[in-house]
Structure 1
Amino acid sequence: MTVTTRVALATSDMGLAWDADLPLMLEALRARGVDAVAAAWDAPDFDWSGCAAVVIRSTWGYPERWPEYLAWADAVQGVTRLDNPAGLLRWNADKRYLGELAAGGVPVVPTRFIAPGEAVALPAHGQFVVKPTVSAGARDTARYAEHHHDLAAGHIAALHAGGSTAMVQPYLTRIDEGERALVFLGGTFSHAIRKGPVLTDVGVVDNDRVPHPDLVPHRPSAAELALAGAALAAVPGAGAPLYARVDIASADDGAPVVMELELVEPNLFMGHGEHGLRRFTDLVQERATAG
């Protein structure tokens, strides 16, 4: 009798409704004979141990339930294969990893971290961005001008009151050229997209904004590929992650810099990569049956 390999794509109630990648991935895996299912990460009765592998996809809402989410990831990893692994989630979901990348020589957007209880210092000139270190989809993020210090300080105070560390970055003057997202599968470049600027309003926290506006395919430059490779080389742990997305923008001098390194549950834009879905399916199937 043939034993069918079960793979779960971990999502959320919102992901089940809105994740554009999810149905594509399920269909591609099922076409290979894999028993692929989608399950919300916080589903109380789902048996994760019955899966040969669990792939984290659209576990939206995890920043608001961070300790619970980490405990779930640890528990799943204790009974089956988890991609990406819990240790990577723990490291990558807190954007203080940008400081580690910078210390290792990887060009990133200059970032100042302000923990609760620390003095708040804001840029004297130019526009800047305030966000929490643990967030997704530009949630609780806003752009400010130099005359908005009171608004920005209030934003930081609200983040601190919720127990979050705040981060302050310059607003890149060339962001209108587009933010580039380079997708890697198993450590190999797959495809890329370019999107329009997200923080179009000044002094406004808008958690309903579209996180990926005006998507178009993108052919990365050699400099962008080299930067993404350097960022991935700095990721802790052995072996390449199942998936990674490196978000890149242009600094004021035109040089590419890392905005974020997404290893937790990034949109992989499978509808924009000719070979990406096949590569993803190959990797999931190989890892699930590796034993």
Structure 2
Amino acid sequence: MSGSALFVACSALPEGDGDEHAVPDALADLGFKTRWAAWDDTTVDFGAADIVVLRATWDYAERRDEFLSWTEAVPTLANAAQVVRWNTDKSYLAELGDAGVAVVPTTLIAPDDQAPRWPKAEFVLKPAVGAGSRGTGRFTDGDAAAAHLAGLQADGHTVLLQPYQSSVDSEGETALVFFGGVYSHAFSKAAMLGRELDESGLYVTEKLAPVQPTAAFRALAEDALDATAALLGILRAELLYARVDLVAGPDGRPSLLELELVEPSLGFRQTDPAAAWRFASAVRQQLA
């Protein structure tokens, strides 16, 4: 089998952040030609590619309606438009929690809701639609939190309120990566709150490192993918990629912080070189 793969980014980062540097060669070994394009480049015929892979579309949050309309016009998109619509609104965490997945406790605050009673312990506010940790704040002071919330609500955001997971300070997050529904590798991410945006202004620079997740982390990641597939009415294998971000709770047990199915960095530089081959095989599987 041979074909063409179109990797999609944004105009500020037309070829992503370099994480996928080894993937085009792995795809070429299987007969695929790979090129990059910005999702909003009107000169590109996205329908001509055998598979269109979302990678670094990190400006979608400010133009989500336009972005979703574009995804629905691309028949060979991976992951599919249905997945993108669901996953670009972090309210999905409440759905996964209702489905029995151990998620970080999450309260949704609608744009017209009053400020809630603030937790006594440290907590985080973040927009339900957002990427790269933009708009996320960590608070202990109710007045500062109320001002941050008001600013997000004024921009029309539903806001997530979550207790701050102190384990992130010492252990960071653990990101487990799946290709075609099958576990590939994992890496750790240091705490990002309070760090600077990169020069594109689209994401917070992360400190990443390879990691071997425990059995409990692996099991929760598998549970999260199973629940997602059930909610969306798809097979796990239909997800070209998934990144499951977990943290250790106060009792040491893992909780789901985010499930990234649209445009996450996949940690190719933090794992073995064969990961690019595993990704290439998953691309081939999608076309089969």
**TM-score normalised per structure 1:** 0.90
Partner of residue 135 from structure 2, selected from 134, 140, 146: 140
Partner of residue 215 from structure 1, selected from 208, 229, 232: 208
Q: What is the RMSD computed on CA atoms of the aligned residues?
A: 1.8
AA aligned opposite 1:84: N
Deviation at 1:21, TM superposition (A): 2.2
Match of 1:224 in 2: 217
Secondary structure at the aligned position of 2:53 is classed as strand
The 5 A counterparts of 1:92-241 are: 92-145=87-140, 148-176=141-169, 177-200=171-194, 207=197, 211=204, 213-235=206-228, 236-240=232-236, 241=239
1:196–1:212 CA contact under 8 A, matched in 2: no
The 5 A counterparts of 1:35-74 are: 35-74=33-72
**Matched positions, count:** 278
AA aligned opposite 1:237: G
Alpha-carbon distance in 2 for matches of 1:18, 1:74: 22
Deviation at 1:18, TM superposition (A): 4.6
Q: Which moved more, 1:187-196 or 1:120-129?
A: 120-129
Deviations, residues 50-76 of structure 1 (Å, cap 9, x unaligned): 111111111110000000000000011
AA aligned opposite 2:54: I
Deviation at 1:7, TM superposition (A): 1.4
2:9–2:16 CA contact under 8 A, matched in 1: no
- 5+ residue gaps, structure 1: none
Secondary structure at the aligned position of 2:143 is classed as helix
Match of 1:284 in 2: 283
Deviations, residues 215-238 of structure 1 (Å, cap 9, x unaligned): 211111110011001100111231
After superposing on structure 2, the runs of 4+ consecutive aligned residues of structure 1 that deviate more than 4 Å are 206-210
Q: Which moved more, 1:251-260 or 1:233-242?
A: 233-242
- 5+ residue gaps, structure 2: none
Alpha-carbon distance in 2 for matches of 1:174, 1:150: 25
Match of 1:262 in 2: 260
State the identity as a percent. Answer: 41
| 108 and 31 in structure 1: CA distance in 2 versus 1, 3 angstrom threshold | same
The 5 A counterparts of 1:8-47 are: 8-16=6-14, 18-47=16-45
**TM-score normalised per structure 2:** 0.91
Alpha-carbon distance in 2 for matches of 1:214, 1:166: 26
1:133–1:164 CA contact under 8 A, matched in 2: yes
